[in-house]
Amino acid sequence: MLIILAGITLNAVIGENGIILQAKNTKNLVTNETTYDNQQLAQLQNELKDNGLYSGIGIIPGTDTGGGSEGGENGTHTNQGGQTNSNSINTNNPGTLVNTGNNQQTGPIIGGDAQDPIIRVLDGEQVAASFYRSDVTLQIYTQDKTQRIKYILTTTVSEINNELYPSGLVKELDIENGGTLTFTKDGEYTLTAYAYDTQGQKSNPVVMWFKKEMNASPDSGITLTASGNIGDNEWYTSNITIRVLGTDAGSNRVTYRVQGYVYEKGTIGNYAQTYEYEVGEITPREIEIANGTTIKVATDGEFTITAYTYDDGGNRISTSAPLTIKRDATRPVIQSFTGEQVIQNNVGQGFRVNVEAIDRTSGLNTAGNPTSYTYQSKLASNTAYDTQTATRDTSKLYTNLDATKTYDMYVMIKDGAGNRVVSDIISRPALWISSNPNQSEGERINEGKEGSLQYTRSPNIEFSFKGQDSNNVDMSKIEYQVEGTATENGTIDGTSYSKDQPVNQTKEYSSINGQDKVKQTLNLATDGDWTVKVHTYNKEGKRVTTNTIRLCRDTIAPTLLTFAVASTSETTASAVVTNHEFGVSGQATGGGYTYFLGDSNKGTKTIATHEYTNLTRTTNYNALKVTTKDKAGNISTINPTSTTYYLVDRVVVGEYVAYDAGAWTETKAEPTTNATFGGYTGGTNKATGVNGTASGWQVISKTGNGASGKVSLISAGSPWLFYVRINRE
């Protein structure tokens, strides 16, 4: 239906939807700067809808929609009602218009900056601020008529939206500078206008909201409605759009006031009324806003917002009930995520990862968010991560990891609002002894534990390590480090060290060309108790992971200087090892000494004394021996350096003892005090005659054993020819 109206600056076309459009350029044009394919944009918008990421605002190519709601809202807070001041009544005609400029049109004006467009109400009977009960005619223009005007219109009248945006895409529409729009359908309308200068620069958006209802009878009061994405614990996780709607008859002006605390620098307010806030408490002030339009809260914090309506005399009519909101749209900040092998008292405890993070707004480990940290790990060669572990702990100990393999790890952190951030993947490097790890049964303390202490007497130990196996971990280099003190002269990776020289040697391997994935080696040929580490560094050069092996290299056998054996009875003898020394590895665990009679093992002990049993009076103590072993597997053997035979343990009553057998000490020309009978064995130097027929001494009695035993002898000839009784010890 085509209708030509008189008395309007521009001829116009009335569409079936009830909106009067400007006659020139009646097409819904996309901006000249926009070259998007509408079909592709429509497909994208449909995909957003299908994934729940779209709720009513279309994709506007090259535009800023301004004061509309945030896309993807999942929550709305409405603060209904408020307080009405019944003593303040606007007695002015709500439809009264004022003179507004060169073309002598009258009505409320929104905007007015030199480069921003002006939206002017030319005609309409206003019963409250932005409420009309008649057709409404608007004009959009700028003072500089060379500027081009574009606008976006959204409305609750679906047929208008369908005609303006048949593809479903909300886009900028062209209108003459100074052109008019007339609205005849009941509903709510939001008009956003832009101006473009001759260079194509875009102005700030100017927004007007109004409601047309032929039989409008506005309620008293003012309402605040908040919308946006609501996360956990009633925190908004997006910008919050707050609509201010005053419905007081006779109201002329609407304001709002914000109180609260800002946690991140940001803005509260829209367009020309944008207010930036620094971190800290807000100093409240009343700010005027076009009725029915919105405030955008684009800063993290906790706020209380109150709105007011005023009549044209400046009297406050209504005060809204306070609307309390809180916004945290900022993810937690991870300051570091690192890992290191933990060793305590030579025991490998496992690989511990540690995370440092902050969240200044909703916080971490809060009452509503007790498990802020979720850890995951996997073998680098695997595609799937292990089961998640959610905890309030800022560290996690991984145990029973294979030291020869690489593991990838990360942590996800969630704040009290539900914002999540995931750390970079860190790679625990593989580290193992690749040659001669346990030569000659060197011990390994706490077998199977990460970081276990291992002993070896290998002349040459080769370590191998990798930074990462398969994934593209953010790594700049890997580095080995050897710490300890050389206990003998030797070399580490070609560098010479002298005995007792402290060592802290490092070497870097760049990750360029995938070198972090290639096995690197370290050659150790110096005795000492060594801590060998492999570190990884991220692209910023920060050390993020460390794996550790403890290894003690000891090629020096223990030293045994003396081994003394003495009889303690006819069948037993005591053995004592003295002047013994162990190298850097120390005495073997659970048995440092093994005692032998010939090749027969007589027992292993950790102490240097032993009691031989099941001997005979004629046992040759020189057949005894002892071996000792250190933790590295070095073994030393020693035969007796001294043997002591006590006579009481070597003879029986009635036997003759040759006078020249053993060492005799004379007291009163008698062998009475020397209890040793060195070199005696049964059947040797023993006289067979009696009463002087053969040289020697006859055993006539004995008591006790060992060093305290007593032997009574009687002369049987030379060197004494007389009968004498001798007590022999």
Q: Give the per-residue pLDDT at 115.
A: 74
Judge whether residue 414 has pLDDT over 70.
yes
Do residue 640 and residue 671 come from a single domain?
Answer: no
Residue position matching structure tokens 């995909």: 47
Question: What are 561's two structure tokens?
Answer: 């200087």
Lowest-confidence pick of 18-22, 132-136, 641-645: 18-22
Mean pLDDT for the stretch of residues 521-550: 86
Structure tokens at 147: 């500027």
> In percent, how much of the chain has pLDDT > 70?
71
Whether residue 194 sits in one domain with residue 152: yes
Nearest to 522 by CA among 464, 448, 608: 464
The pLDDT of residue 702 is 80
- Residue 323 domain flag: yes
**Mean pLDDT of the region 591-606:** 86
- Enumerate residues 6+ apart whose C-beta is below 8 A from 341: 348, 350, 351, 352, 450, 451, 533, 546, 547, 548
Q: How many domains does the chain have?
A: 5
- The answer to whether residue 478 sits within a structural domain is yes
What DSSP string describes 159-204? Answer: HHHHHH-TTS----EEE-TT-EEEE-SSEEEEEEEEEE-TT--B--
Say if residue 323 is exposed, middle or buried (CB neighbours under 10 Å; 0-12, 13-18, 19+). Answer: buried
Rounded Cα–Cα distance for residues 95 and 254 (Å): 17
Q: Report the C-alpha gap between 457 and 461 in whole angstroms.
A: 9
Reported as a single tens digit per residue, the pLDDT across 701-729 is 788 888 887 777 665 443 333 333 333 33
Residue 684: give the domain boundaries. 648-728
Q: What confidence tens digit (pLDDT) does each residue in 146-190 have?
A: 899 999 999 999 999 999 999 889 999 999 999 999 999 999 999
Q: Which of 620, 644, 668 is the C-terminal boundary of a domain?
A: 644
Q: What is the mean pLDDT of residues 632-639?
A: 90
Same domain, 46 and 175: yes
Is residue 23 pLDDT above 50, yes or no? no
Q: List CB contacts of 383: < 8 A, sequence separation 6 or more.
A: none
Residues in the chain: 729
Confidence of residue 612 (pLDDT cuts 50, 70, 90): very high
Same domain, 583 and 680: no
H/E stretch holding 532 reads strand 528-537
What is the predicted pLDDT for the residue at 57? Answer: 35
pLDDT higher than 50, residue 675: no
Q: What are phi and psi of 234, to 5 degrees?
A: 65, 25
- Of residues 454, 498, 439, the one with CA closest to residue 347: 454
Tens of pLDDT, residues 334-382: 999 999 888 776 667 888 999 999 999 999 988 888 889 999 999 888 8
% of the chain beyond a pLDDT of 90? 37
Final residue before a domain boundary, out of 532, 555, 578: 555
For 274-315, the pLDDT digits (tens) are: 788 889 999 888 999 989 888 999 999 999 999 999 998 999
Specify if 81 maps to a domain.
Answer: no
Q: What is the pLDDT of residue 673?
A: 34
Query: Could you tell me which of 709, 700, 632, 721 has the C-alpha nearest to residue 677?
Result: 709
The answer as to whether 118 is a domain residue is yes
Whether 356 and 304 map to the same domain: the answer is no
Q: Is residue 376 part of a domain?
A: yes
Q: For residue 527, is pLDDT > 60?
A: yes
Q: For the purposes of burial, counting CB atoms within 10 Å of the CB of 354, is it exposed (0-12), middle (13-18) or buried (19 or more)? A: middle
Res 623 pLDDT > 70:
yes
The pLDDT of residue 591 is 67
How high is the pLDDT of residue 693?
45
**What does the angle CA 173 – CA 177 – CA 179 come to, to the nearest 5 degrees?**
75
Nearest by Cα to 284 from 298, 269, 305, 301: 305
Assess whether 506 and 583 both reside in one domain: no
Q: Looking at the domain assignment, is residue 199 inside a domain?
A: yes
Residue-level pLDDT at 99: 26
Does residue 701 or residue 44 have the better pLDDT? 701
pLDDT at 44 exceeding the cut of 90: no
Q: What is the pLDDT of residue 652?
A: 82
Residue 659 shares a structural domain with residue 620: no
Q: Is residue 654 in some structural domain? A: yes
Q: Which of 202, 209, 208, 207 is nearest to 115 (CA)?
A: 202
Q: Is the pLDDT of residue 50 over 90?
A: no
Do residues 335 and 440 both lie within one domain? yes
Output the pLDDT for position 284: 87
Q: Do residues 48 and 189 share a domain?
A: yes
| Residue 170 to residue 56: CA distance in whole angstroms | 10
Q: Residue 80 contacts by C-beta under 8 Å, 6 or more apart in sequence?
A: 221, 223, 321
CATH number at 399 reads 2.60.40.1930
The Cα 488–Cα 501 span in angstroms is 9
**Helical (H) or strand (E) element with 45:** helix 38-50
Task: Give residue-wise pLDDT tens across range 24-41.
Answer: 333 333 333 333 344 445
One-letter identity of residue 225: T
Nearest to 641 by CA among 569, 707, 560: 560
pLDDT of residue 440: 52
Q: What is the mean pLDDT of the chain?
A: 76
Integer Cα distance of 13 and 713 in angstroms: 151
Q: 83 in a domain, yes or no?
A: no
Output the pLDDT for position 324.
97
Q: Does residue 409 sit in the same domain as residue 274?
A: no
Average pLDDT over residues 546-568: 89
* Tokens at 552, concatenated: 């003690």
Residues 392 and 529 in one domain: yes
Residue where one domain finishes, among candidates 212, 242, 275: 212
- Identify the H or E element spanning 476: none
Question: Do 323 and 80 touch, CB atoms closer than 8 A?
Answer: no
Residue 59's pLDDT is what? Answer: 34
Q: What's the average model confidence in pLDDT over 485-509? A: 92
pLDDT at 12 over 50: no
450 and 509 within one domain: yes
Query: Residue 601 sits in a domain of what CATH number?
Result: 2.60.40.10
Over range 107-115, report the average pLDDT: 56
pLDDT at site 638:
93
